[in-house]
A = this chain, B = another copy of it.
Amino acid sequence: MTTPSNRKQTRCAIMAVVGLAMLQSLVPATAQDAVRRSPSQIIAEAPAEHWRALDPENTLYIDMETGRVVVELTQDLAPVHVAQVKTLTRAGYYDGLNFYRVIDGFVAQGGDIHAADAQKAKPLPAGAQQTLEAEFEAPLRPGLGYVPVPGPDGYATRTGFLNGFPAGIDPQYGKVWLTHCYGAFAFGREEGADTASTEFYITLGVQRYLDRNLTVFGAVRQGMPLLQALPRGDEGPGMISDPEKRMAFTFRVAADLPPEERTPLEVMDTNSGSFKALVQARRNRPEPFFKYRPDHADICAIPIPVRPVPLGDGEETL
C-alpha cells in the first residue's frame, strides 16, 4: 500500500536526531516533544484528563434514516441562537423537515423550505422567536480563554481554539467569532443581518468568506459522511427539486433521550497539553514520510479529535 500520509508508528533514531536538528530553528524549544511525536501518537497517548465528554444539554442529534449526525453547540458566543435551536428542537419543530439545499463542497442546508413564505411556513412553537438578532461575533471578554494558533491568516488578525471550536480573533476591537471550517453548524438568514429564524446549514468544506456574516454556534462531531452522501441540488442555488430526494430528519437534544439512546462522545480538550502538542505536530509533521515541513497549520487544518467515551474495562461504547 502506498499512502499519501504514511501513518506507520515506527521511529527511526537517525531520522529523529537529524530531523530534530533541522527543525529546532523552526519551532520553539518548548515544542520539542511535539516534534518527536506524530499526530496519531499524540492522540493515542493523550491521558484521560485531556479529553472531555460532550455535555448532553449542548448536544444536538440530527437523526436520519441513514444514521445520526452529532452536533456540539457552544454557549460561549451566541446564546440567543443556542436557545432558539433548543426551543425549536424540544417543540418538535424540525421533525419531518429535511435537507432541501445541498451544494457540493459548500453547505447542506435544512429546515422549512417555505420558511420565508408566510402562507406556507410551518408555524413556530411557543417560545421561539420569529427572527433573531445577529450574533456574528462576540466581545472578547475576560475569562473567555482561547488557545492561539500561530501564523498568518488571510481572514482574521489572529486565530485560535475557543474551548473546542475554531475561532477568529480581532484583538484591537476585542471581537471573537467561530470560523467556517469543515462541519460548522450555523443559521442561515435573509438579506438583513437580524433575520435568522429556523433554517440551519452545515459546511461541507472550508468556507471562511462566510465568517462574521452569519452566526456559527456549533460543530459536527460525528456523521459528516452522512451529509456528504446527501443528494446535491439540481436547480436554482443548489435546491433539490424532487421533494422525495430531500433527506428528512428529526432533531433531539441529547439530554432528552435516555442514556442508552445517546451517542456518548469525547473530544480532545483544546486547552490541554496534548492539544497544544497536536497543533505543533500538525505544523511540522515529524514522520520521515514528510520531506517538506511548512511550520504552519491553518486553523481549519487542525481537526478536533473525537472518540467514543471509553468504558472502564477498556471496551468502547461504539
Contact = CB atoms under 8 A, between A and B. Distances in A.
Interface of A: 1-8, 101, 104-107, 109, 111, 113-116, 136, 151-155, 182, 186-191, 193, 195-197, 199, 201, 204-214, 224-225, 228-229, 232, 237, 239, 282, 285, 288-292, 294, 296-298, 300-301, 303
- Chain A binding surface, main DSSP class: loop
Contacts of A197: 2
A84 B113 CA distance: 49
> How many copies of the chain does the oligomer comprise?
2
A197 B115 CA distance: 53
A292 B188 contact: no
B224 A115 contact: no
A3 B228 contact: no
Contact of A101 (B3, B114, B229, B290): B3
Contacts of A2: 111, 115-116, 187-190, 195-197, 199
B3 A237 contact: yes
Given A206-B205, A292-B212, A101 B1 contact: yes
A152 to B, nearest CB: 4
